[in-house]
Structure 1
Amino acid sequence: MELQLAWRLFKRELMQGQLVLIVLAITLAVLSVSGLARVSERLQVAINGEAANFIAADRIIDSPVPLSEQVLNMAESLNIQHVTNMKFNSMVYSGDNFQLVTIKAVGDGYPLRGEIELSSGVTQGLPKTGEAWYENRLGGLLGYPTTLELGNTELNLSAEISRLPDAGFNPFASSPVLLMRLDDVEATGIIQPGSRVSYVYQFAGEAAALTQFETQAKPLLNNSQRWTDVQSGDSPIASAIKRAERFLLLASLLGIALACAAIGIAAQRYCQRHYDVVAMLKTFGASAKQIRMLFGAHLLLVTVVGIVLGLIGGVMLDLAINQFLPAEIAAYSPPYSRPLLLGVSTGLISAFMFSAYPLMRLLAIPPLRVLQRQLEGLQFGMWLHLLLSLGAMALLGYLYSKSIALTMTVVLAVLLLGVLLSVLGFVMIRLGHSVGMKTTNPFQLALAGLRRRARQNAVQLVGFSSALVLLLTILALRQDLLNEWQKQLPENAPNYFLVNIAPEDTKPLDDFLTTHNINATDIYPVIRGRLTHINDEELISRQEEKDGVEGRVGISRELNLTYRETLPPNNEIIEGTFNQADDEVSVEAEVAERLGLSLGDTMTYTIDNQEFSVKVASFRQVQWETLQPNFFMIFRPKALEPFSYTSMASFHLNDEDLQANGSDLTANGVVLQLIQQFPTISVIDVGAMVGQLRQIIEQVSLSLSLVLALVLLASALVLIAQTEAGMATRQRELAVLRTFGASGWLLRSATGLEFALLGAIAGILAVIVAEFTLYMLKTQVFELVVYMHWPWWAIAPLSGAAVVATLGMWRCRQLLNRSCSDLLKAG
């Protein structure tokens, strides 16, 4: 019986349009979550897919010994492609010339991601048996031979390499690369027991299979085997990708918060509309159980309709956005299962938990309300409503992001936002009490309306301000991330590195760069040394720590050290002062944290079998992604003067700059002259990598713009839902004012001013909370520079007033145009 009545009630209200608000709110929630999840996942998969070209695979296991067959069989069982490669150093000979090279011996299928670029163009193949491909600078060092000797074999040099997808970026690794087939290694006789070889296993496959493979394979790896993906520290774009993914997750979490706000508003309005219905049912003898069944079933029907419409909308949103994406991003298509599941979960969880308290109030309506309409039953339990709402938001946020830190940041921000806006909004609206007693003009009438609806307007302010806070937060983070990446990769970012610069070549090289108007960095001296003691305590390696040796863990390799009189570009002192005395050193902040350093600690180094000590004077934050020379430790010149050194530098050079300076040479021509004039200097071309980095950053920028557009849409719908919630009360007030002779012009002006004042107050409060939220996010999540957004203090109130007034007047247009009799009949 109750189910039949619920179905009849549902059909009647659906036909009359009374369910539009709550259905729209649930649809918005499901559409936002499923649509944002689908778009975000596509963008994340695309960004990671493009970034995988930097390591020529999706995942890599680097091992000093051959990998167990169990791991490889596991990959095959999951339909994951894999290639086995070897990497080692060796001497090659051509006549009387010899050179230390880095051998990359690759198996069939290499590379799994990206392409090999030869001087003749892109190739899909590998060297034939008995052949090798060489890096262009190796040809110059050996006099461009056609063959060379490697161990017991002679290899034909059949092609010149312009770029390898997994070449990486290490300007200190000056050995040129020689690419050969893995099958030819055995014939060289180089690999013997005890040889230092890196076995590089590359894997590529579907995201779900890779995740399962990672879960199963990682526990089988030993301490000397390293797992790598595009977000590992070895990737030059790891920081950019991690920040982009955090932004996409944050935007989606904020979309969930907006959707939950819309459902909460709609549920409250839904229950308020049924107060009289419940009172009548109780008067006619309906039991509490029958009423619970009736409205529970009714709400379930509304939720199901909202979920279905939301899922359809989410799919259509994804298809529509996909039409505007670049082909390389649109080609990626992650499965629909997770976005659809998240959408259904969002609809059910939010509809239940955000409707629980309003439904409790509805069911507690006394029968006496039939005679006294001001009775509303349950008047307590807001703490329960707040707890359920925050619980729903936290649950949905974690289901989506799988990040407790990010979820709690958003939940705490929302909690603070609600408390602050409720208190401040109520106080600010109450300030209009004395002014609003007289209603002789539109402004006074608007203030009177704010005062009469103080409690309702305080709630509306939460909705309006929430939307503005989220918009400001997303907009500011997007711009800050883009600015950060632009600073890291400006138009004149270095595309060539010079290493192994002898001291006697420093001045002639500087003159050469100046003569050709080349935009170069400073020339940095490079000295290799090992950190051995901190505060007279001998350091141990990580392996020794794992073997049970007690002591302070240091850095288990030689470091590249430099000295300067001034702080280098892209370095910022965050604690202490930059080397003021000759016996002081400045340390990069993350290394200092890993080593447990404090200002004033003594560090002892060994260089050329000589020991010397310095004190820690400062910690620096370094932008490693700038493709400029950067160092962990920077000394004063006198500290390292006794030791021999080579130098390094980087510069930007392209054909357009040379032509602008009136040169007839091309960039390749200038580089060739540099090599001929300075044959001992190694020139590393990173231009292709810079171009690939820019391409990925552009894709990330597009991702941020798309997500911003989706959050804008969700915010607009929340504002509409919030405006809709007060229409019934406003209709009755307009009817009364019309009865007492208020003109249409007065009512329209007062209504517009009332919404504008609400929007302006919401804008002011939104700026306060947005600044606080951005401070928390920048310091705890994104590691960005914190600063005040002073233009917002003028723009946000004006924009809030304009937007809210426009939406309010649009929604009230029919009420304002009705006659007094029509308003009284409708009420």
Structure 2
Amino acid sequence: MEFQLAWRFFKRELTQGQLLLIVLAITLAVLSVTGLARVSERLQVAINGEAATFIAADRIIDSPIALDNKILDIAAKLGLAHVTNMQFNSMVYAGDKFQLVTIKAVGPAYPLKGVIELASGETKALPQSGEAWFENRLGALLENPKSIELGNSELKLTGEISRLPDGGFNPFASAPVLLIALEDVDATGIIQPGSRVSYLYQFTGTASALKQFEAEAKPLLNNSQRWVDVQSGDSPIASAVKKAERFLLLASLLGIALACAAIGIAAQRYCQRHYDVVAMLKTFGASAKQIRRLFGIHLLLVTGLGIGLGLVGGLLLDLGLTAFLPAEIAAYSPPYSRPILLGVSTGLISAFMFSAYPLMRLLAIPPLRVLQRQLEGLQLGMWLHLLLSLTAMALLGYLYSGSIPLTLTVVFTVLLLGTLLSLLGFAMIRMGHSVGMKTTNPLQLALAGLRRRARQNALQLVGFSSALVLLLTILALRQDLLNEWQKQLPDNAPNYFLVNIAPEDAKPLNDFMNVNQIAATDIYPVIRGRLTHVNDEELISDEQQKQGEAGRVGISRELNLTYRDSLPPNNSITAGTFNQRDDEVSVETKVAERLGLNLNDTLTFTIDNQLVKVKVASFRKVQWETLQPNFFMIFTPKALADFSYTSMASFHLDDDKLKQAGSELSDNDVVLQLIKRFPTVSVIDVGAMVGQLRQIIEQVSLSLSLVLALVLLASALVLIAQTEAGMAMRQRELAVLRTFGASGWLLRSATGLEFALLGAIAGLLAVIVAEFALYMLKTQVFELVVYMHWPWWAIAPLMGALIVAFLGVWRCRQLLNQSCGELLKAG
């Protein structure tokens, strides 16, 4: 019985348009979440997939010994492709010349991701048995031989390497690379018991298979084996990928927040419109149980329709946007299951949680409302509505992102927004009370409208401001991320590194740079040392800690130390002052956090079997992604004056700038001259890696722009839904004003001013909350520089006024053009 009545009720209201707002709100919720989830997942998979070319695979296990077959069996069971490589250092000989090289012995499937670039172009081939491919600088160092001796083998040099996909970036590993077939390693006789060698097992496959592989294989690794992916810090793109993924997650969380706002607005309007219906049903003898079933089924039908339309819209949105994506991104297609499940969950959870309190008020409507229209039933329990709403948002946010910091930041921002708007918004609207009694001009009539609808306008402010806060937040974060990446990789970013610079070569090298008009960084001395004590407390290793020894865990390797008189570029002091006395050191912030250091702590280093004691004078934040020389520890020149050192530097070189400077040489010619003049200096070409890094950043930038466009669309729909919410009351008021002779011009001007005032207030409050949200996000999630957005304080209220006024007048245009009789008849 209740179902038949609910179905008839549903069809009638659907055909009459009375369900339009709540169906639109649920559709918006599901469409936003499904569309954002689908697009952001595609972009996440694409970014990670493209970034994986930096390690030539999706995952790597780096091991000093051959890997247990159990792990390889797991990979085979999950359908992962894999290749085994080896890497070690050795000497090669060509006549009377010899050179230390890094041997990279690769299996036949190498590389799983990316391509090898030779001087002759890209290739999918590999060195054959008895052959070797060499890094271009090795040829110059050995005077371009036809073959080289490696251990017991003689190998023909048949290919000149321009770039390997997993070449990595370590300016301190200065040995050029020699690529050989894995099957040739045994014949060289180099690998003996106790030899230092790295086994690199590379894997690739589907996201789900890789996730399962990580869950099963990672616990089987020992302490000397490392699990590597694009976010492990071994790739220079790691930081950019992590921040881009956080941005995509945040954008989707904001999409969920927008969707929840739309549901809340629509649910309240839906229940208000049915107050009289419930009163009538109770008057005619319907029981509370029957009414609960009736509206429960009715709401379920509405929710089902909204979810269905939203899913279709979200998938169409994904198809539409995919058509505009670059082919390399569009080629990635993650499963549809998660976006669809998330969309359905969003529709059901938000419809129930955000409708619970309005529905409670609806079911509590007394039958007496038939005679007294001002009765609204339940007046208490707003705290329950707030609790249910925040719980729903937090649940959906965590289900989507899996990130507690992101979810809590969004929830606390929404809580602050609601509190601030409920108090300040209502107070600002009530300020119009004294002038609102006179309605002789549009401004006074607008203020009178704000006063009469103070409660409703306070709720509208929540909707308007929510959309503006989310827009400001997402816009600012996107711009800050793009600016940060642009600073890290400007057009003149270094594409060559110089290492092993002898002290006597420093001045001639500077002169060489000046003569050829090459922009280079400072030359940094490099001294190897080990940190052994903090405040005279001996540091222990990770292994010692795992074996049960007590003590502070140190850094279980030697560090590259340097000294300077001034703070290097791309470094900023976070605490203390840069070295002022001879016995002071400046420490990078993350190392300081890892070691638990404080200012004025005493550090003891062992350098060339000598002890050096220094005090911590400052902590520095370092931008490691700038491709310039950076160090964990910076001493004063006098502190390390007694130790021998080599130096390093980086510089930018390209053909166009050389031509502009009037040089007939190419960048390769200049590099060859540099190698010949300074044969002991190792030149590392990172230009190809910089180009690949820029390509990834461009794809990330496109991703951020697309997600921003989606959030803009969702925000506009929320603003429209919020404007729609007050149309019924406004229609009755316009009818009354028309009856008393108000002109069309007066009503149009007053309506526009009323919405503009609401928009201006919403814009001002949105700036306050957005600044708070950005502070939390930048400090707790994205690690970005915090600063005030002063132009917003003028622009946001103005834009809020214009946008909301336009939407309000556009939505009210039909009502404003109707005559008094038409308004009374429609009401």
CA distance in 2 between counterparts of 1:407 and 1:771 reads 17
1:695 is aligned to: 695
Q: Counterpart of 1:530 in structure 2: which amino acid?
A: R
CA distance in 2 between counterparts of 1:404 and 1:602 reads 37
Cα deviation 1:252-274 (Å, max 9, x = unaligned) = 00010000000000001011111
- Residues 548-559 of structure 1 correspond to what in structure 2 (within 5 A)? 548-559=548-559
2:608 is aligned to: 608
The CA deviation at 1:75 is 0.6
The CA deviation at 1:632 is 0.5
- Residues 754-769 of structure 1 correspond to what in structure 2 (within 5 A)? 754-769=754-769
2:421 is aligned to: 421
- Residues 203-214 of structure 1 correspond to what in structure 2 (within 5 A)? 203-214=203-214
1:64 is aligned to: 64
> SS of the counterpart of 1:372?
coil
- Residues 276-295 of structure 1 correspond to what in structure 2 (within 5 A)? 276-295=276-295
1:310 is aligned to: 310
| Aligned partners of 2:118 and 2:159 also within 8 Å | yes
1:342 is aligned to: 342
1:791 is aligned to: 791
The CA deviation at 1:550 is 2.8
2:53 is aligned to: 53
CA distance in 2 between counterparts of 1:787 and 1:550 reads 42
Q: Counterpart of 1:450 in structure 2: which amino acid?
A: L
1:381 is aligned to: 381
1:514 is aligned to: 514
| Aligned partners of 2:140 and 2:672 also within 8 Å | no
CA distance in 2 between counterparts of 1:28 and 1:591 reads 46
2:401 is aligned to: 401
The CA deviation at 1:552 is 2.1
CA distance in 1 between counterparts of 2:790 and 2:323 reads 37
2:128 is aligned to: 128
CA distance in 2 between counterparts of 1:711 and 1:100 reads 54
- Residues 612-651 of structure 1 correspond to what in structure 2 (within 5 A)? 612-651=612-651
| Aligned partners of 2:532 and 2:604 also within 8 Å | yes
- Residues 446-595 of structure 1 correspond to what in structure 2 (within 5 A)? 446-595=446-595
| Aligned partners of 2:90 and 2:100 also within 8 Å | yes
| Aligned partners of 2:752 and 2:805 also within 8 Å | yes
- Residues 77-88 of structure 1 correspond to what in structure 2 (within 5 A)? 77-88=77-88
The CA deviation at 1:194 is 1.4
1:243 is aligned to: 243
The CA deviation at 1:546 is 1.8
CA distance in 2 between counterparts of 1:385 and 1:606 reads 63
1:272 is aligned to: 272
Q: Counterpart of 2:709 in structure 1: which amino acid?
A: A
Given the two structures, how large is their TM-score scaled by the length of structure 2? 0.99
CA distance in 2 between counterparts of 1:280 and 1:613 reads 87
The CA deviation at 1:549 is 2.8
The CA deviation at 1:534 is 1.5
CA distance in 2 between counterparts of 1:430 and 1:607 reads 72
2:12 is aligned to: 12
2:26 is aligned to: 26
The CA deviation at 1:509 is 0.6
CA distance in 1 between counterparts of 2:664 and 2:176 reads 30
The CA deviation at 1:674 is 1.0
1:369 is aligned to: 369
The CA deviation at 1:547 is 2.4
Q: Counterpart of 2:576 in structure 1: which amino acid?
A: G
Q: Counterpart of 2:290 in structure 1: which amino acid?
A: Q
The CA deviation at 1:544 is 2.1
1:751 is aligned to: 751
1:774 is aligned to: 774
1:114 is aligned to: 114
Q: Report whether the alignment pairs 1:332 with 2:355.
A: no
> SS of the counterpart of 1:662?
coil
> SS of the counterpart of 1:437?
coil
1:162 is aligned to: 162
Larger mean Cα displacement after TM superposition, 662-671 or 748-757: 662-671
1:664 is aligned to: 664
5+ unaligned residues in a row in structure 1: which ranges?
none
CA distance in 1 between counterparts of 2:757 and 2:782 reads 34
Q: Counterpart of 1:505 in structure 2: which amino acid?
A: D
CA distance in 1 between counterparts of 2:38 and 2:348 reads 19
5+ unaligned residues in a row in structure 2: which ranges?
none
Cα deviation 1:64-115 (Å, max 9, x = unaligned) = 1111111111111111101111111111122222211111111111110011
The CA deviation at 1:548 is 2.6
2:358 is aligned to: 358
Cα deviation 1:52-74 (Å, max 9, x = unaligned) = 00000000111111111111111
1:732 is aligned to: 732
The CA deviation at 1:751 is 0.4
Cα deviation 1:486-509 (Å, max 9, x = unaligned) = 010011000011111111111111
> SS of the counterpart of 1:553?
coil
Q: Counterpart of 2:478 in structure 1: which amino acid?
A: R
The CA deviation at 1:203 is 0.4
CA distance in 1 between counterparts of 2:651 and 2:457 reads 60
CA distance in 1 between counterparts of 2:443 and 2:406 reads 43
CA distance in 1 between counterparts of 2:56 and 2:808 reads 55
Cα deviation 1:738-778 (Å, max 9, x = unaligned) = 11111111101000000000000001000011111111111
CA distance in 1 between counterparts of 2:622 and 2:758 reads 45
2:301 is aligned to: 301
Q: Counterpart of 1:543 in structure 2: which amino acid?
A: E
CA distance in 2 between counterparts of 1:266 and 1:331 reads 38
CA distance in 1 between counterparts of 2:539 and 2:362 reads 69
Larger mean Cα displacement after TM superposition, 182-191 or 71-80: 182-191
CA distance in 2 between counterparts of 1:572 and 1:33 reads 39
CA distance in 1 between counterparts of 2:354 and 2:577 reads 53
Cα deviation 1:446-496 (Å, max 9, x = unaligned) = 000000000100000010001000000000000000000001001100001
2:97 is aligned to: 97
CA distance in 2 between counterparts of 1:170 and 1:773 reads 37
CA distance in 2 between counterparts of 1:607 and 1:316 reads 64
> SS of the counterpart of 1:373?
coil
Q: Counterpart of 2:329 in structure 1: which amino acid?
A: I
The CA deviation at 1:131 is 1.0
> SS of the counterpart of 2:684?
strand
CA distance in 2 between counterparts of 1:242 and 1:410 reads 19
